[in-house]
Amino acid sequence: MTEPAANLLALPQALPPNLSGCAGTNRASASVARQIAANDDVAAIGLWLAEYHDSPHTFRSYRKEAERLLLWATQIRGKPVSSLTREDVIAYEAFLAQPPATWCDAGLARRGEHRRLLVGPLAERSRRQALGILAGLFNYLVRAGYLAGSPFVLQRQRARRGTRRTIERYLDRAIWEEVLRAVDDWPQDSMRERQRYERARWVLRFLYETALRAAEAAAANESDFQPIRGRWWLHTVGKGGVEGTVPLSDGLMDDFARYRRFHGLHALPSGDGKIPAILGIAGRSSPLTPTAVYQIVKDTFRRVAETLQQQDEVKATRVRRASTHWLRHTAATHQAEDGTPIHHIQKNLRHSSIGTTSIYVHAEEDARHASTTKTRIGTSVPRGDVP
């Protein structure tokens, strides 16, 4: 990584000596063997972040949490991160549950030094995730010989609430088909409307058939589409730098050809070209960010939900909640329902453990529900009976 580790954190100004962490009360003693040369909190945290430079999604998520804590510690608690105690961690969790309005000001920019770091209070699940990331940061700094200990190790282990064996953040096949039909009904009277339609149409099909994460889809370009023994495959690099290949259907390649022709490109992707798989709305060839891909999908689902709202509020609510990761879950679930061997789904999703993939197999749960309630699998539920 060419950028200095300390520059990975976007702070409004340099920290004064009393808040920099050079003399933090939780700093390791001089007798501890140091594994890093960093001597202030920003440099030490930046080095931790640098460990994740090859995983953009993880890097952005971890940087957000580190910046939140650093600004809270120095601006609200009035102490450096390397002086935080267990009492501070408890106070920080309460802060995330009820942040002041100044930290959630919608007028602040979404990026840059003076940006908004919180949209509003974090739900319990989001708070647990934030504290888990920060616990990893502190453990790293302890192992590096920078901190004497971690105030997160005293955190009580909360009992898990009935671990779910299956994933529920997906769209069943009937709703998915309604989504596709709703998009096909979008107006196409102007060039801008046609551009939005063609992009939404392609992005939905691309993410659904490949089960790519938003970051993987944003990074995909035409050279990643590879014909092997008369069949098309997509090469991708996922979380943690894990490489994999995803089989592509003839139907998806037809959709890709349609999308490319719309933008004046050759129908077949070039094996050595760098044109992104997902273009800007007007066909610009600069790659989109993962956030942009996410927003395209969220905006599409929002528009579809508005269409469904008058017909079925339950469906509309579910579609409105859907996101890029829902498409990944939807793809895996539908593959399982179609009888795709679970080890093939595992490879398609690039899971290291087949146990992770098994959460998409709903057949046993569906059969249990049918036998218990004496209804046939696939029978629709009357709207008035939906809890």
* Mean predicted confidence (pLDDT) in 113-127: 76
Measure the CA–CA gap between 330 and 176, rounded to whole angstroms: 8
pLDDT (0 to 100) of residue 382 = 39
Q: Quick one: average pLDDT of 153-166? A: 52
Does 370 have pLDDT greater than 80? no
CA distances from 242 to 36, 74, 123, 238, 346 (A): 27, 37, 31, 5, 13
pLDDT of residue 155: 61
Would you list the domain boundaries of the chain? 5-143, 173-385
Q: What are the pLDDT digits (tens) for 210-223?
A: 989 999 999 999 99
Give the fold, CATH level 3, of 173-385. hpI Integrase; Chain A (1.10.443)
Residue range 14-19: mean pLDDT, rounded: 88
CB 349 within 8 A of CB 332: yes
The pLDDT tens digits for 220-253 are 999 999 998 889 999 998 777 778 889 999 999 9
pLDDT tens string 296-310: 999 999 999 999 988
C-beta separation of 383 from 312 below 8 A? yes
Between 15-19, 72-76, 111-115, 240-244, the lowest mean confidence (pLDDT) is in: 111-115
**Which pLDDT score, from 0 to 100, does residue 9 have?**
61
Q: Pairing mode, if any, of strands 243-248 and 231-237? A: antiparallel
